[in-house]
Structure 1
Amino acid sequence: MKINILRPFIPLVIIIILFSATAKFGLAKISEVRSKISQAQREERVLSQKLSVLSDVEVGVSNDSSLVSSTIPNRNPSLIVASQIKVEAGLLGLTPLNIKSGTGIEDKSGLSRVDVNFDIEGQRSTVLEFLKKIEGFAPITLVEKVKLNEVGGVARAQVTVKTFFAELPKKLPALGEALNDLTPDEKKILTEASGLRQPLFVNFSASTPGERPDPFSQ
C-alpha cells in the first residue's frame, strides 16, 4: 500500500535529482566562462596599455634602438672600433699603425669583450689628446694599457683598448605582462649614450712603409 502511495512521487524525485545535477554542472560552467571572460578582459587592458605606450614611443624607439646597438653591438665590434680609431687619429693628423684585434672573451662586467691593439706616433701632446678622445666614441671603448716612448721629439704609444658587445635578449616578455616605461636610470644611460660620437667608417687601405722615417729604428 505504501509503495502505491509513493509511486507517483518517484518521477518527481528523479526530475529533482536531474535538475540539481544539471544546475550544479551549469553553475560550474558559468563560473568557468566568467573566469575566462575576466582573464580576457585583463589581457585586453594590458594589451591596450602596451599599445598606448608603443604609440607614445613609436617615433623615438627606432632612434633609441639604433643608439643602443651602436653603443653596445650584438657582435664583435673590433672592425668598427678600428675605423673609429683611424677617424679620430686622422682628425688630429695622426696615423695609427699595426691595428690588430683579438677574439671575444667574457669580461668581469658580464658583457663580451674584445681587445684592439695598435701603435700611434706624433707629438706627445697630440697623442695624449687622441687617447682621451677614444673613450668618447661608440661603441663603448676604454683605454686598457698604454706604453709611451719618446725619441727626438716624437712620441710613439703602444695602445691596447677594450670594447664590448652583448647578444640580443633571447626571451621576450609574456603577452599578458605589463609594458613599463624606461626607468630614470635607463633614461640617463640613453642620454649619456647619445653623447658618444657615432661610428664613421673609412677605407682600410694598405699601408706604405718607408714614406716617412721611423725615429725608433735608429
Structure 2
Amino acid sequence: MRTTDTLNVIAANSRVLVGPLVLLVVLLLLFVFALRVGIGQIISLSKKVAESKVEEQVLSQKLEILKTSEESALPLADLSLVAIPSENPALIVISQLKNLAGEKGVGLSNIEAKQTAAVASIFHTEIEVTVEGEMGSLFDFLKGLGSISPLLTLDQVIIRQESGIAKVDALIFGNFAPLPTTLPSITSPLDELTAEEKDILAKISSYSQPVFTEVTPSGPFERVDLFNF
C-alpha cells in the first residue's frame, strides 16, 4: 500500500510539474528563436550602416571633386559637346568652313554633305568641298581645319590648277557620337580628371567655336481692331 501511495504521490507531483516544464521549454525555445532573429537583425543593420558609411564617403568624395572642378573643368564641359556633338553636325561644319574660308581669304564651292558612316562608337559625316584661291591661303585654310569645333578629319586632298586658279578638292569628316544611354550609379566612385584630360579640354577651348544665334519669337500681338488684318 505504501508503495502504491508513493507512486500515486510521484505521479501527482509529476503531473503538477509537467505544465511548468512545458512552459519553461516553450519559453526557452521562444528565447532562442528571438535571440537568433535579433542577432540576424543586428548583423543586417550593421551591414546597412557599413554600406551607408561607404556611400557617404563616396558622395563626399564626389562633392569635393565637383567643388575643385567647378572653376576649372566644368566650364569646359559644354565645349566637349561642341567638339564631339551627339548628332550629325553637317550644318555646323559647313558654317564653320565658310567662316574659316572668310578668315583665310579663299572661296568655297561645290559643298556637299554625303553619307554618314561609323567607326566603332564614333560616327562621321562626309563633306566634300572645293576651295579656291592663292596657294598660300589654301594651305592656311587646310591647316586651320585642325583648330575648329566640331573636330574635323581631313581625309582626302586633291590639289589642281584650273584656268590659272589653284583649287583643292577636299573630303572632310565631321565627327559625332551619341551620348551614353545609361548613367553610372550615384554611389559609384567618381574619378577626378587627369592632367592630360584637363589639357585636352583646355586645348579644345582655344579652338574656333561655332556661333549659335537665338531667334526671338515675334507675336502674337493684340489687335486693336479685330476687323483690320
Structure 2 residue corresponding to 1:98, chosen from 100, 110, 119: 110
Counterparts of 2:39 and 2:174 in 1: how far apart (Å)? 64
Provide the secondary structure at the position in 1 that maps to 2:204. Answer: helix
User: Residues 13-28 of structure 1 correspond to what in structure 2 (within 5 A)?
Assistant: 13-28=25-40
Is the CA contact (8 Å cut-off) linking 1:115 and 1:161 kept in structure 2?
yes
Provide the secondary structure at the position in 2 that maps to 1:104. Answer: strand
1:76 counterpart letter in structure 2: N
Instruction: Give the equivalent residue in structure 2 for 1:213.
Output: none
Residue 169 (structure 1) aligned with residue 180 (structure 2): yes
Structure 2 residue corresponding to 1:148, chosen from 150, 154, 159: 159
Structure 1 residue corresponding to 2:136, chosen from 107, 125, 145: 125
Instruction: Give the equivalent residue in structure 1 for 2:101.
Output: 89
Instruction: Give the equivalent residue in structure 2 for 1:216.
Output: none
Provide the secondary structure at the position in 1 that maps to 2:166. Answer: strand
Counterparts of 1:61 and 1:161 in 2: how far apart (Å)? 29
Is the CA contact (8 Å cut-off) linking 1:144 and 1:162 kept in structure 2?
yes
Provide the secondary structure at the position in 2 that maps to 1:59. Answer: coil
Q: 1:3 to 1:145 in 2, by over 3 A?
A: farther
- Per-residue deviation at 1:195? 3.1
Counterparts of 2:204 and 2:166 in 1: how far apart (Å)? 32
Structure 1 residue corresponding to 2:191, chosen from 155, 180, 187: 180
Instruction: Give the equivalent residue in structure 1 for 2:221.
Output: none
Q: CA RMSD in A?
A: 2.2
- Per-residue deviation at 1:162? 0.9
Instruction: Give the equivalent residue in structure 2 for 1:59.
Output: 71
Instruction: Give the equivalent residue in structure 2 for 1:46.
Output: 58
Residue 10 (structure 1) aligned with residue 19 (structure 2): no
- Per-residue deviation at 1:111? 0.4
Off by >6 Å, runs of 4+ in structure 1: none
1:133 counterpart letter in structure 2: G
Counterparts of 1:15 and 1:143 in 2: how far apart (Å)? 85
Structure 1 residue corresponding to 2:81, chosen from 44, 48, 69: 69
Counterparts of 1:163 and 1:36 in 2: how far apart (Å)? 49
Where structure 2 has 5 or more consecutive residues not aligned to the other structure, the ranges are: 1-9, 214-229
Provide the secondary structure at the position in 1 that maps to 2:147. Answer: coil
Instruction: Give the equivalent residue in structure 1 for 2:150.
Output: 139
Provide the secondary structure at the position in 2 that maps to 1:135. Answer: helix
Instruction: Give the equivalent residue in structure 2 for 1:79.
Output: 91
Counterparts of 2:24 and 2:162 in 1: how far apart (Å)? 115
**Normalising to structure 2: TM-score of the pair?**
0.79
1:36 counterpart letter in structure 2: K
Counterparts of 1:166 and 1:99 in 2: how far apart (Å)? 23
- Per-residue deviation at 1:62? 4.0
1:70 counterpart letter in structure 2: V
Counterparts of 2:29 and 2:205 in 1: how far apart (Å)? 74
Counterparts of 1:88 and 1:95 in 2: how far apart (Å)? 10
Counterparts of 2:131 and 2:110 in 1: how far apart (Å)? 9
Counterparts of 1:58 and 1:184 in 2: how far apart (Å)? 15
Identity %: 31
Counterparts of 1:14 and 1:38 in 2: how far apart (Å)? 36
Larger radius of gyration: 2
Is the CA contact (8 Å cut-off) linking 1:123 and 1:153 kept in structure 2?
no
Structure 1 residue corresponding to 2:44, chosen from 32, 36, 39: 32
- Per-residue deviation at 1:2? 6.3
1:158 counterpart letter in structure 2: D
